[in-house]
Amino acid sequence: ACVFGCAGSPLCLRAAWPRGAGSLQVNEVVFSPSASHWATCSDDGSVRVWSLASMELLIQFQVLNQSCLCLAWSPASCARPEQQQVAAGYSDGTLRVFSISRIAMELKMHPHRAALTAIAYSADGQTILSGDKDGLVAVSRPRTGMTFRVLSDHRGALISTVQSRSKEHGDFGAQWGDLWLAASSDQRISVWAANWPQGHCELVDWLSSPSPTLMEVGSGGSRGGGSACPPDHSVLRPFTGSQPTTVISCCLLPLGRVPAGVCGPRRASRGGLL
């Protein structure tokens, strides 16, 4: 798996792929909070957990006849290592939670009718946010297996990422303890404040982000003209910065493309519903 740095150079994690796995598309890579392990999910329905030190495969969870499209590792706030979990979203709309220590599936839910495309834990690890290709975001509690809210504000646009963090003092003037955002393929980002223990969730702002410009790299190494990130790779990856209107956006790139001016903060336009 390769991650592009801001200079355009790939940072590659090379691991021995299991025999018989063939050539599989890896849909997401996530690291454990301690950065000692990493996990991948693939089109064959597998979730694999690897050791970063040895690059060896340690655990494999397998779901048949489904593609695993998104992945999230439970946050460090879940305290003890034996409580670490990986949440995975599948093409049939199901969400599964796997225990790393017990090497077992702990929970299966069906919060979506469409394929899941993004998933994230809340900062305290007690809530799971999941988005699907139809633009719906479900809010679920892994302890009870219940989905207690479905948000349709992005309806019609694939949810490309969901992220959550603890709110800093004064962020967006929100009164509750968590902030989270959802980004969709129509380049809109919704920002929410939440009090998960009480089940409160409130939309506080909308942001929009322009398409990044990419430079083609020819066979001779020369760069061609700029082009917008193509639809099949325009997955927005935003991160809230210290300023409420600062968003860092990147897109997933096929091999042979180099991001030109993609990394770094972008000012997002603010306003009402776009």
- The pLDDT tens digits of the residues spanning 112-121 come to 999 999 999 9
**pTM of the predicted model, to two decimals?**
0.72
Q: Which two tokens stand for residue 24?
A: 């599989």
Q: What is the pLDDT of residue 58?
A: 95
Q: What is the mean pLDDT of residues 54-82?
A: 87
Q: What is the mean pLDDT of residues 87-95?
A: 97
Q: Are 129 and 137 in contact (CB under 8 A)?
A: yes
Q: Which two tokens stand for residue 75?
A: 């946050």
Could you give the CA distance from residue 206 to residue 160 in angstroms, rounded to a whole number?
A: 16
- The pLDDT tens digits of the residues spanning 121-131 come to 998 899 999 99
- The pLDDT tens digits of the residues spanning 156-203 come to 999 999 999 886 645 556 666 789 999 999 999 999 999 888 888 899
Report how far apart, in Å, the C-alpha atoms of 226 and of each of 5, 52, 83, 191 are. 19, 36, 46, 30
Q: Taking 60 as the threshold, does the pLDDT of residue 271 lie above it?
A: no
Q: What is the mean pLDDT of residues 130-156?
A: 95
Residue 81 confidence class, pLDDT cut points 50, 70, 90: low
Residue 12 confidence class, pLDDT cut points 50, 70, 90: low
Nearest Cα to 118, choosing from 106, 105, 135, 104?
Answer: 135
Residue 67 confidence class, pLDDT cut points 50, 70, 90: very high
Amino acid at 187: Q
Fold observed for domain 2-271: Methylamine Dehydrogenase; Chain H (2.130.10)
Could you give the CA distance from residue 182 to residue 21 in angstroms, rounded to a whole number?
A: 33
- The pLDDT tens digits of the residues spanning 212-252 come to 654 444 444 443 443 344 444 334 444 444 444 444 444 43
Residue 209 confidence class, pLDDT cut points 50, 70, 90: confident
- C-alpha atoms less than 13 angstroms from C-alpha of 156 in its C-beta half-sphere: 3
Residue 261 confidence class, pLDDT cut points 50, 70, 90: very low
Mean pLDDT value across the chain: 76
Q: Taking 90 as the threshold, does the pLDDT of residue 80 lie above it?
A: no
